[in-house]
Amino acid sequence: MNIQDYKGVFVFAQQEDNKLAGVSLELVGKAKELAKDLETEVTAVVLGSEIGDMAKKLGRYGADNVILADDPGLKVYMTEPYAHVLTQIIQEKKPEIVLYGATAIGRDLAPRVSARVHTGLTADCTGLEVDPETKNLRMTRPAFGGNIMATIICPEFRPQMATVRPGVMQRIHPAGESSAKVENYKVELPEESFNVEILDIVKKVSDKMDIQDAKVLVSGGRGMGCPENFQLLEDLAAAFGNGATVSSSRACVDAGWVEKDRQVGQTGKTVRPNLYIACGISGAIQHLAGMEDSDLIIAINKDEYAPIFEVADYGVVGDVTKILPAFTEQVKRA
Ligand code: FAD
């Protein structure tokens, strides 16, 4: 393998029902930064059916080129056809970096493609940068239960591949117009790619806002005492109005008090709201990994030495069951 032959930063732009995943837009922005350091271009690759209008959006978010692999066989995600087409594109175009969102689809697809093109994959990254001397990609991810951050390089193989956690990279402000060059890739899917048939897709309908979209998160931990006390968090979120919702630590998810999709942290979601209110949360490193980049953090904890106070901008030492109702009243009055 001559690694000098590999050029450009590729992003697998994930779409479902013709809607681009937020993480893909975040990755295009990050790819732009990496491409600048490598003096190269960003290419977004979209697979699907009737996906033409994705190209403009990707261009506005920073893609220099968009490859559209448009075929009825790619309408819904299936491992084999997607892995087949993406592998072909990578083998033909030889990018030096390929990024995927660490979503259910990205986590399924990326290892299969990396094995087929005989390269490595760093999963679940939280940081990416170009080494100024070697120009290798430095991929950072939590390791050993989040107790250390490991930086991984792939110096001898190309492309360098990573899945990246949703929410950790920031989208760039979109341009008014797209100037991306669009290529319609000729898809050839062999019969044996369709060894699985999708009979039905059942979507979970939730009336709650996704915690990654919230401007204000009122987050509860084991210190809330019982699931019934989560109503105090709901009341505070309601007082803030639209854009506010309730999230939690893993302890409460494991105890069955709240749904898994509310979990913030290393094995939950990474959030970056304007305001994060941590209630009865100790501040374990795995929890902090998911929320410490919030704009403003308020912590309520009865233990004045709780580690959450080290990342909090404002702290209240006291019992959540007493402080939360008073806090809610104040917010209602404001
Ligand atoms: P605790 O650590 O038990 O803290 C409860 C806090 O509440 C204490 O600080 C206590 O002083 C306070 N308190 C108690 N009563 C009151 C009261 N009445 N009023 C005010 N304060 C009170 N955790 C996550 O959150 N997200 C993750 O994604 C995650 N991933 C993990 C991945 C791995 C591999 C591992 C090993 C662990 C992970 N964890 C994760 C678990 C993490 O290590 C902690 O165990 C967890 O975050 C603790 O949750 P907690 O803060 O709610 O509970």
Q: Write out pLDDT tens, residues 35-89.
A: 999 999 999 999 999 998 899 999 999 999 999 999 999 999 999 999 999 999 9
Instruction: Evaluate whether 112 touches 78 at the Cβ level (below 8 Å).
Output: no
**pLDDT of amino acid 148:** 86
Query: How confident is the model at residue 16, as a pLDDT?
Result: 93
Q: Which of 224, 247, 249, 327 to mutate to test the pocket of ligand 1 (most atoms within 8 A of CB)?
A: 249
Place of tokens 């939690």: 248
pLDDT in tens, 220-272: 999 999 999 999 999 999 999 999 999 999 999 999 999 999 999 988 999 99
ipTM above 0.85, yes or no: yes
Neighbours of 168 (CB within 10 A): 20
Ligand 1: residues with CB < 6 A are 145-146, 221-223, 225, 249-251, 263-268, 280-282, 284, 286-287, 290, 300-303, 306, 319-321
pLDDT 10s digits, 134-159: 999 999 998 887 778 999 999 999 99
Atom 17 in ligand 1: which residue has the minimum CA distance? Answer: 319
Q: Ligand 1: which atom is nearest the Cα of residue 264?
A: 26
For the entire predicted model, the pTM comes to 0.83
**What per-residue confidence (pLDDT) applies to 327?**
97
Strand, coil or helix: 29: helix
How far is Cα 217 from Cα 291, in angstroms, rounded to an integer?
A: 10
pLDDT at 291 over 90: yes
How far apart CA 297 and CA 245 sit, in angstroms, is 15
| Among the listed residues 180, 177, 176, the one whose alpha carbon sits nearest the alpha carbon of residue 65 | 180
Ligand 1 atom nearest 320 alpha carbon? 19
